[in-house]
Structure 1
Amino acid sequence: MTTPLILLPGDEVPSDYLPSSKSNPLKIGSGLRLLSQPSTKSKEPNHVLSATQAGILETDARRNTISLLSFPNRRYIPTTNDLIIAQVHHSSADFFHCMITPHTAQALLGQLSFEGATKKTRPMLKQGDIVYARVLSVGIGAGAEVELTCVNPATGKANPGGLGPLNGGMVFDLSTGMAARLLHASSSSADDDEPVDGLVVLSELGKKLEGFGGFELAVGRNGKVWVDCSNAEENAIKVTIAIGRCLQGTDEHNLNPADQKKLVTRTLRDMKLV
């Protein structure tokens, strides 16, 4: 379907908006909940999906995926398979207790939920450490605990996504809508000339900062982005702050591609990086 569809919490996804691929299983992204699925005898894709938040329905027929692109806001609702940036609050015998947002209950990250981790080789994370994790489960009902993992359950590896502790760098706050746009842009094909979701800020920063050794990003659906520019050596802090300001400025003012480029140029000039 080409007509954008806006859903509110509790709305069901119309059947004619569901991807119809029969070769791949339907992959459900953030913002949607599966209410029922077809039986093994059914030949029609009669999944019943419901929205858990307000947003624009987004489908990919080739990948057979469906998700909800949320509007810019600060509230994050954990959803299974979301990539998030969490901060360790404290540890217990079997878990690291992590903060996803300042206003939600702590999530549990198993101390062995890392690639190759054993009781002797598990990471010794302390309060304040940052991890890039995936939401493994969210439970059912009020007070249900959110469980995280830093490995792909199917392979036991940290990829895709580079899950695990994030060392160095800085974390910046964004709206959950901007975080979703960044994740969508990074997962989309780079073959198209048109910017994905109208975002050119990252590609523009990449061009301007190529001489400083580039940078690394980890984006969390909970409205956080980790930026590391350690290759910039003595300019690492300035480059990191410049990137954070560009991302936050694009988010706060909902800049179009032309204004994003102007923001990058102005910010790097102010930081004396160009």
Structure 2
Amino acid sequence: MSSPLILLPGDSVPSEYLPSSNSSAPLRLGPGLRLLSQPPSSSSSKTSTGHVLAATQSGILTTDPKRNAVSLLSTPNRRYVPTSNDLVIAQVHHSSPDYFHCLITPQTPQVVLGQLSFEGATKKTRPMLKQGDLVYARVLSTGLGAGAEVELTCVNPATGRAEPGGLGPLTGGMVFDVSTGMAARLMRASSSSAENQESVDGLVVLDELGKKLEKVGGFEIAVGRNGKVWVDCANGGDSAIKATVAIGRCLSAIDEHTLSLADQKKLVTRVLREMKIET
């Protein structure tokens, strides 16, 4: 459809807005949508017709026919509601014999992460995490009903491997807070080509920072849907600290202000110059 569709929590998604896929790939749901029913598995149809979806948050419906995916582009906000399959950055609060008890936002109850929920972990080789340590994890389940515990994992339950790459403990680096809307944009940008970043999210800051900081060793980034961004520069020393702080400043500025693609590039250049980072 040519006109954008704005949904509120509880609204159903009209079938004509769902992508029509000629592949056998299943319909992929992004954050903000819940599957209420789907066509019978015996159906020979390869389109998305027949799926009944409802919105769990407000936003603009976006579709990706190539990936047979549909999601909600939410407006920036600071409140995060855990959803299955979300990638989050969690901080260990304390541990028990079977679980690490973690925080994903200041205002929500603690979540649990199994002590063996890491790639190749056994009772002898499991990570010895302590209070304050960070982990990059996926929401495994949110439970049913009020008060249900949210469970995290650092592996794909089907393969036992840390997929996508980077799941597990995060060492070093710094963590910056952004809105959940900005976090969603960054996650899409980090997994898309530069052309898709520009056309879908209007976000080129990661690509621009990558080019500018290549001479000083580049950087690693992990983005959580809970509004946390972990950044680590590989070269160490004072230049790494400056580069890390510069990245955080750029992300915060773009989160707080609506900047065009050209303005984002100018922002990166200005911040790196102010931090006296040679590019």
TM-score norm. by structure 1 comes to 0.95
Give the letter aligned to residue 139 of structure 1: G
**Root mean square deviation of aligned Cα:** 1.6
Segment drifting more, 130-139 vs 226-235: 226-235
CA distance in 1, matches of 2:160, 2:69: 23
- Name 1:81's counterpart in structure 2: 85
| AA partner of residue 26 (structure 1) | L
Secondary structure of 2:57's partner?
coil
Q: Shift of the alpha carbon at 1:3? A: 2.2
Distance 1:137 1:269 in 2: 44
Instruction: Read off the aligned partner of 1:220 and give its amino acid letter.
Output: G
Corresponding residue for residue 11 of structure 2: 11
The question of 1:265 aligning with 2:269 is answered: yes
* Counterpart mapping for 1:57-206 below 5 A: 57-190=61-194, 194=198, 196-206=200-210
Q: Is 2:229 the counterpart of 1:225?
A: yes
| 2:32 equivalent in structure 1 | 31
The match for 1:50 is 54
Question: 2:2 maps to which residue?
Answer: 2
Name whichever of 25-34 and 226-235 sits farther off. Answer: 226-235
**Does the C-alpha gap of structure 1 residues 191 and 253 become closer, same or farther in structure 2, counting only changes over 3 Å?**
closer
State TM-score, norm by structure 2: 0.94
Residue 20 (structure 1) shift: 2.5
Specify every segment of 5 or more residues in structure 1 that has no aligned partner in the other structure, as ranges: none
How much has 1:192 moved relative to structure 2?
Answer: 5.6
The letter of the residue matching 1:11 is D
Please give the alpha-carbon distance, in whole angstroms, between the structure 2 residues aligned to 1:95 and 1:27: 30
- Amino acid of the structure 2 residue aligned with 1:68: L
Counterpart AA for 1:96: F
1:68-98 CA deviation, whole Å, 9 max, x = no partner? 1111000111111111101001111111011
Tell me the amino acid that sits aligned with residue 5 of structure 2: L
- Residue identity (%): 75
CA deviation digits over 1:45-75, x for unaligned, max 9?
3111111101111111111111111110001
Distance 2:31 2:115 in 1: 26
> What is the aligned residue count?
274
